[in-house]
């Protein structure tokens, strides 16, 4: 059954991520599970996040069949329904090849705790050798919110689209810190990590960041495409 509201949300998400510079090339996808169905909406593969329109958001079932909007979808869409099947708590998934995320993936490890926001991913990031769900599934723990795919990119997910997207731009920020800071840079002590996790939860940081992502997407859309303005 068609769900226009979810299609609009996926479009809003890809445009917001594009404004952060996370979708300038072909590749990357955002999906949202359809409540109560073995289906999800996902963006097309043959356009960048910057170019995406509503007709580029397709509805797929958990067998990978396109049910709505005959458009080209990524071969990598299989890990989306794989994660949805394994983790019923996950309602939305984001995958990009953002520059800093891809650079981080070459380390083949989670981001270091070099800033308050990095603590979101502390002990909650798995490493998968590929984006095939046969590799992701065994590596994925019930508490994980992110996946690093070495020499490829990253995946974030959550109980809603707001969380999945906000975690993604936060992971990109954390990756930039990790990539650019020397290997001997001190990491945040464990007791401070735990304290910051509590502070961020009380501050509703992910919800506020999602609203920022939405604003950036709207403000940078010129009627034809999103003009990327990544932070420097």
In a domain, residue 226? The reply is no
Tell me the residue length of the chain.
232
Q: What is the pLDDT of residue 194?
A: 94
In a domain, residue 213? The reply is yes
Q: What is the pLDDT of residue 24?
A: 85
Q: What is the pLDDT of residue 114?
A: 97
In a domain, residue 230? The reply is no
In a domain, residue 38? The reply is yes
In a domain, residue 65? The reply is yes
Angstrom distance (rounded) from CA 220 to CA 227: 5
Domain span at residue 63 reads 4-219
In a domain, residue 26? The reply is yes
Q: What is the pLDDT of residue 2?
A: 78
Q: Which pTM does this prediction carry?
A: 0.96
In a domain, residue 73? The reply is yes
Q: What is the pLDDT of residue 106?
A: 97
Q: What is the pLDDT of residue 30?
A: 98
β-bridge mates for residue 61, sequence order: 39
Q: What is the pLDDT of residue 181?
A: 97
In a domain, residue 228? The reply is no
Number of domains forming the structure of the chain: 1
Q: What is the pLDDT of residue 1?
A: 57
Low-confidence ranges of the chain (pLDDT < 50): none
Q: What is the pLDDT of residue 231?
A: 63
* CATH number, domain containing residue 122: 3.40.225.10
Q: What is the pLDDT of residue 171?
A: 98
The full DSSP string for the chain is ---HHHHHHHHHHHHHHHHTTS-SSS--EEEEEPTTSSEEEEE-SSS-GGG--GGGEEEEETTS-EEES-----GGGHHHHHHHHH-TT--EEEEE--HHHHHHHTTTSPPP--SGGGGGGTT-EEE-SSSSHHHHHHH--TT--EEEETTTEEEEEESSHHHHHHHHHHHHHHHHHHHHS-TTPPPPPHHHHHHHHHHHHHTTHHHHHHHHHHHHHHHTB-SSSB------
């Amino acid at each position: 059954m068609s769900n226009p509201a979810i299609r609009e949300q996926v479009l809003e998400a890809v445009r917001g991520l594009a404004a952060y510079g996370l979708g300038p090339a072909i590749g990357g996808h955002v999906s949202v599970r359809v409540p109560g169905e073995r289906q999800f909406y996902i963006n097309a593969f043959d356009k960048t996040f910057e170019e995406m329109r509503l007709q580029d958001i397709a509805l797929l079932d958990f067998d990978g069949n396109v049910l709505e909007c005959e458009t080209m979808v990524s071969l990598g869409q299989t890990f989306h329904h794989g994660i949805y099947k394994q983790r019923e708590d996950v309602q939305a998934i984001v995958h990009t090849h953002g520059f800093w995320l891809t650079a981080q993936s070459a380390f083949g490890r989670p981001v270091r705790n070099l800033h308050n926001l990095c603590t979101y991913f502390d002990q909650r990031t798995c490493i998968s050798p590929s984006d095939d769900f046969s590799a992701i599934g065994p590596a994925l723990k019930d508490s994980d919110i992110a996946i690093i795919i070495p020499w490829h990119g990253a995946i974030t997910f959550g109980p809603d689209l707001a969380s999945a997207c906000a975690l993604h731009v936060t992971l990109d920020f954390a990756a930039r810190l990790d990539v650019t800071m020397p290997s001997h840079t001190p990491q945040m002590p464990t007791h401070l990590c735990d304290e910051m996790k509590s502070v961020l939860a009380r501050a509703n940081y992910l919800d506020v960041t999602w609203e920022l992502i939405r604003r950036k997407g709207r403000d940078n859309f010129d009627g034809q495409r999103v003009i990327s303005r990544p932070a420097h």
